Chains A and B, each alone.
Chain A
């Protein structure tokens, strides 16, 4: 039984990996170009005119947020497009008729989101080295946060795809929720510079916590309580996993 599920997982993971590299110009290149532009404009051209933030240069301050932004958008985009594509072409039926468990199928799709998210995170990190020296305050926290964040947004992408009925449905969440939350999540600024109203409002934004944990891992600075935020991240992963697994097990959105 385990052997069957393991072979099935490896097959699905291989399929997702091939997909990412087959359409590399859509999956890998855009984020690398966009983030390089961010580094150039905000770090190089404008950043040099901005004063220090928490005793760090502006580019040093935004690097962790930009890495995190790329990981979030790519993990989400990979799983939502792959699962919805399979639903749209009906080839998700190949998996539904097979003896693979809901856990195996979910892990297979998440592996694609993790691979793309972490690969892009690595590329962006390497590009950032051209613009700013890298500091590591807590390497374990960096690795675990990037992994859990990628997993969290892969799960969110999966849930979105399960409910989506048309292509518009998979662009609504990234356009109207994910992008605003990411941009307003303290990637480019510290919330300490905001007025009390906006500062308090920012605490409702989950991306703020992710960016700040990650930034703490690199620079040792944070606008939030890191242990509390990290525990919440683990809890959120668990909640989204349960939702995604239940949707798949019950066949909501994919079985009649």
Chain B
């Protein structure tokens, strides 16, 4: 069974702005799925419809096999949502926010309290248990939103740009946490502008642009669409005249740096060997940019 099934979903705002032009999308159970797209592409509208914050114009949506129109209670019970913007009551203590949220899903107070404390502990918020949410830092607020989305034990977790504005160490700890949830069987749907994040976490990716899905496949297959890849090579010394090698274009950046655009047929180890033979010793190598970023730019023509 698919965790999410979207069929011919359309959304028009104010009768004129066509935000979604009939998208079809399915997310497998247990998947770590990335929904990417530039600003205004329709990501948040799609997420909004899934979580009942946006009314769809037409089409159908099933969550854990339940239609959101006919079986909305069951559909909503299976879904946890981490929205893009902070949306909790700023005056309420963290523990109260979690207990209330659990209550809205029918979790009784005693169980809610146990779950809330466990989640606060897991997300490093236990010492902020009784602190009003407005006194938390941005990063802690993000963690509290994740805890809130999990307190009713959903099967599917939707995160709308969860790491926006979060420092790198917290971002990485959030990635680890999300990976552990996914490993336990939870389906995770992620929208993000950090393509490195999507490339590293997501098993499947869909790219949406101007209300249409323009790519939808496994991350591996999508990345294979790239005909070439640019690698930055840090060398002992780079001569003025570069050797001509098959399936690669070399460009000298400075006396110790070289850029190599490799075609798909060319392996990095072969290139390093060939450069060594030509007397260019490479100390380190790295991708010029995230491969997904290159694909994204190619597809959405930004």
Tell whether A and B belong to one assembly. Answer: yes
**A residues neighboring B (CB under 8 Å):** 1, 3-5, 7-8, 10-12, 14-15, 18, 22, 86, 89-91, 93-101, 250-251, 255-256
Complex interface: chain B residues within 8 A of A256 (CB): 13, 48, 53-55
Please give the distance in Å from A234's CB to the nearest CB on chain B: 31
Query: Which residue of chain B lies nearest to A105 when distances are taken between CB atoms in the complex?
Result: B104
B residues near A86, Cβ cutoff 8 Å? 89
- The complex places the Cα of A22 from the Cα of B132 at a distance, in Å, of 13
Show the binding face of B for A, using Cβ within 8 Å: 13, 48, 51-55, 72-74, 76-77, 79, 81, 83, 85-91, 96, 99-101, 103-109, 148
Most buried by A among B76, B86, B87: B87
- How far is A212 from B139 in the complex, measured between Cα atoms in Å? 57
Jot down 29 A-B pairs with beta carbons below 8 A, ordered by A: A4-B105, A4-B106, A7-B103, A8-B104, A8-B105, A11-B104, A11-B109, A12-B103, A15-B100, A89-B87, A89-B89, A90-B83, A90-B85, A90-B86, A90-B87, A91-B88, A94-B101, A94-B104, A95-B104, A96-B53, A97-B52, A97-B53, A98-B101, A99-B74, A99-B77, A255-B54, A255-B55, A256-B53, A256-B54
Which residues from chain B contact A8 at a C-beta distance below 8 Å?
103-106
The answer to whether A3 and B106 touch across the interface, beta carbons within 8 angstroms, is yes
What is the CA–CA distance of A8 and B79 in the complex, to the nearest angstrom?
16
Q: How far is the CA of A7 from the CA of B105 in the complex (A)?
A: 8
Which residues of A sit under 8 angstroms from B81, Cβ to Cβ?
A: 97
Q: For chains A and B in complex, what number of residue pairs have CB atoms within 8 angstroms?
A: 85
Chain A residue, CB-CB nearest to B19? A256
User: CA of A96 to CA of B99 in the docked complex: distance in angstroms?
Assistant: 16
Please indicate the chain A residues that have their CB under 8 angstroms from the CB of B51 in the complex. 96-97
Q: Is the pair A22, B85 in contact by a Cβ cutoff of 8 Å?
A: no
Q: Which residues of B contact A5 (CB under 8 A)?
A: 106
A96 touches B52 (CB 8 A): yes
State the main secondary structure of chain A at its contact with B: helix
Which of A14, A22, A91 gathers the greatest number of chain B CB atoms within 10 Å? A91
Contact A99/B72 with A251-B55, A256-B54 known, Cβ cut-off 8 Å = yes
- In this complex, what residue of B is CB-closest to A251? B55
Residue of B at shortest CB range from A92? B87
Least Cβ–Cβ distance between A79 and chain B, in angstroms: 16
B141 CB to closest chain A CB (Å) equals: 13
In order of increasing CB-CB distance, the 9 nearest A-B pairs are A11-B103, A4-B106, A98-B104, A90-B87, A99-B76, A99-B73, A97-B51, A256-B54, A7-B106
Given that A11-B100, A256-B13 are contacting pairs, would A94 and B87 also be in contact in the complex, using a CB cutoff of 8 Å? yes
> A247: shortest Cβ distance to chain B, in Å?
13
Chain A hits for B103, CB < 8 A: 7-8, 10-12, 14
B233 to chain A, nearest CB (A): 49
CB-CB nearest in chain B for A93? B87
Min CB–CB distance A116 → chain B (angstroms): 17
